[in-house]
Amino acid sequence: MTITSKQRSYLKSLASNINPIFQVGKASLTPELVNAVSEALEKRELIKLSVLKNCFDDPNELADTMAERTKSQVVQVIGKKIILYRPAKKDPKIQLPR
């Protein structure tokens, strides 16, 4: 599943109003964090993560790795903020523009 630039723009506008619900710290991407993010994506579809200063990994690489492990799409990486999207398997709430 790939999203178009129009869909990405729509998701960015939706994400501008949400706060980060996960923080990636010194331990980087632990299996527990990946599972928690995957569960949150199933419920919310669009989430924002914050990369803390004590995490020395590149946010772009973290976003790509997290997207790969959770089978989601990277919507945007701005500085230390990552936005991920994955439609829910049952009853998706976000309708993407065509």
DSSP state, residue 91: S
Residue written as token pair 């004590």? 54
Per-residue model confidence (pLDDT) at position 49: 95
Instruction: Please list the pLDDT of the chain residue by residue as tens digits (98 residues).
Output: 678 999 999 999 999 999 999 999 998 899 999 999 999 999 999 999 999 999 999 999 999 999 999 999 999 999 999 999 999 888 888 888 88
Domains of the chain: 5-85 (3.30.110.60)
- For residue 83, the cross-strand partners are 48, 76
Per-residue model confidence (pLDDT) at position 1 = 66
* SS percent in the chain: helix, strand, coil, step 5: 40, 20, 40
Local structure of 55: helix, strand or coil: coil
pLDDT the model gives residue 37: 95
Q: Distance between CA 84 and CA 46 in Å, rounded?
A: 6
Q: Tell me if 49 sits within 8 A of 38, measured CB to CB.
A: no
